[in-house]
Amino acid sequence: MSKLKSSSSELDLDRPNIEDYLPSGSIQEPHGKLCLRDLLDISPTLTEAAGAIVDDSFTRCFKSIPPEPWNWNIYLFPLWCMGVLVRYLVLFPLRVIVLTVGWIIFLSCYIPVHFLLKGHDKLRKKLERCLVELICSFFVASWTGVVKYHGPRPSIRPKQVFVANHTSMIDFIILEQMTAFAVIMQKHPGWVGLLQSTILESVGSIWFNRSEAKDREIVARRLREHIEGADNNPLLIFPEGTCVNNHYTVMFKKGAFELGCTVCPVAIKYNKVFVDAFWNSRKQSFTMHLLQLMTSWAVVCDVWYLEPQNLKPGETPIEFAERVRDIISVRAGLKKVPWDGYLKYSRPSPKHRERKQQGFAESVLRRLEEI
């Protein structure tokens, strides 16, 4: 049995009190004389455990809910087959061509600009920004992306960060085609990693490594440095820390909310009728995910740029994070769950179990004194 480490104590500080959210109806306050039955009755705890086995709000966040199959009928099935043929044999090649053309144009402009304009930083940055926006537009076109942007476009100002809910890495591409954001991302292997180290470096991106605990301090410092710079591209952060299935939001990490700057929430909601854009990184590689998108009809989504928020006096960063999560969830129609997205990779801290144990022990000892 492989052992996943218990989440580090630093992650504990990220989350507000889970007990406020979890069903605590089982903790009825019994009173009166303590008898054998009370002590032997472990049914509330057992019921909670069995309930978690049968259904739990954490796993629900990462479940790709498949659409109802509609092609089961003799009339609909041929229609669906034709649709498959169109998607794979007509749309897909066209999209591959569009993407290839886009890459050719991009690389033939980017490489000269990057190397020849080494001395003229301001001009180079401006051109690279436009080029990155261009290649992202090509990507979006290659999935027949229909994106409706609502709200004022982001402006390049210091002392601000953008936060958005996270469904797939394409969230970044969709936002990037409108504004060249700098992004903070997990370093990926393969061709994605290559793109990250070359092109995304030029827009000023920051890399982190989930599995390294010390990493957080380094990353926090780099974040602060980035937002101070007036010339840097606006920073985009996905505070959930992991991809969620676009029906729920998991808890926001407080890192983005304790930088002492304005936080501009961005809400993204995909229309599942056309394609389920959730990238289940446990089930698919990013390449497979992109191919799936390119062989679907379209990627339709709404992007809302919401009102910038500041830390209210007397508010902790965690409360601020929850408030912004609330704003985004309401706008995008997502349900909130009290779980830390990193629980996908590690076990919950023993603190939660200890809280339950403390509640039980205190209740028993209290009733003992009533005798």
Partner 1 sequence: MGNASSTLTQYDIEEVQRHCNNLFSQQEIVSLYQRFCQLDRNAKGFISADEFLSVPEFAMNPLSQRLLKMVDGLNFKDFVAFLSAFSAKASLAQKVEVIFKVYDSDCNGKVTFNDMIQVLQDLAGSFMSDQQREEVLGQVLHEAGYTKESVLLLDDFIKVFDHANLKMEVEVPVD
Residues near partner 1 (CB under 8 A) are 1-2, 4, 22, 34-59, 63-64, 66, 69, 282, 339, 343, 347-348, 352-354, 356-358, 360-362, 364-365, 368, 371
Q: Please state the closest distance from residue 359 (CB atom) to partner 1, in A.
A: 9
Classify 227 as helix, strand or coil: helix
The residue behind tokens 């601020």 is 320
Q: Please state the closest distance from residue 25 (CB atom) to partner 1, in A.
A: 9
Give the distance from CA 287 to its chain's centroid. 18
Nearer to partner 1, 40 or 230 (CB): 40
The contacts of residue 120 (CB under 8 Å, 6+ apart) are none
Q: Please state the closest distance from residue 315 (CB atom) to partner 1, in A.
A: 27
CA distance 203 to 117: 15
Q: What are the beta bridge partners of residue 265?
A: 163
Q: Please state the closest distance from residue 197 (CB atom) to partner 1, in A.
A: 31
Nearer to partner 1, 18 or 192 (CB): 18
Selection from 184, 105, 189, 113 nearest residue 141 by Cα:
105
The secondary structure element, H or E, covering residue 262 is strand 262-270
Q: Please state the closest distance from residue 277 (CB atom) to partner 1, in A.
A: 15
In DSSP notation, 266-315 reads: EEEEE-TTT------TTT--HHHHHHHHHTSS-EEEEEEEPPPB-PPTT-
Nearer to partner 1, 86 or 365 (CB): 365
Q: What are the beta bridge partners of residue 299?
A: 145
Q: Please state the closest distance from residue 179 (CB atom) to partner 1, in A.
A: 35
Nearer to partner 1, 100 or 357 (CB): 357
Nearer to partner 1, 323 or 352 (CB): 352
Q: Please state the closest distance from residue 21 (CB atom) to partner 1, in A.
A: 11
Nearer to partner 1, 101 or 368 (CB): 368
Torsion sign (Cα): 125, 130, 134, 136: positive
Nearer to partner 1, 195 or 368 (CB): 368
The contacts of residue 357 (CB under 8 Å, 6+ apart) are none
Nearer to partner 1, 129 or 336 (CB): 336
The contacts of residue 166 (CB under 8 Å, 6+ apart) are 238, 240, 241, 242, 243, 244
Q: Please state the closest distance from residue 245 (CB atom) to partner 1, in A.
A: 12
CA distance 153 to 169: 21
| CB-based contact 343:7 (threshold 8 Å) | yes
Classify 121 as helix, strand or coil: helix
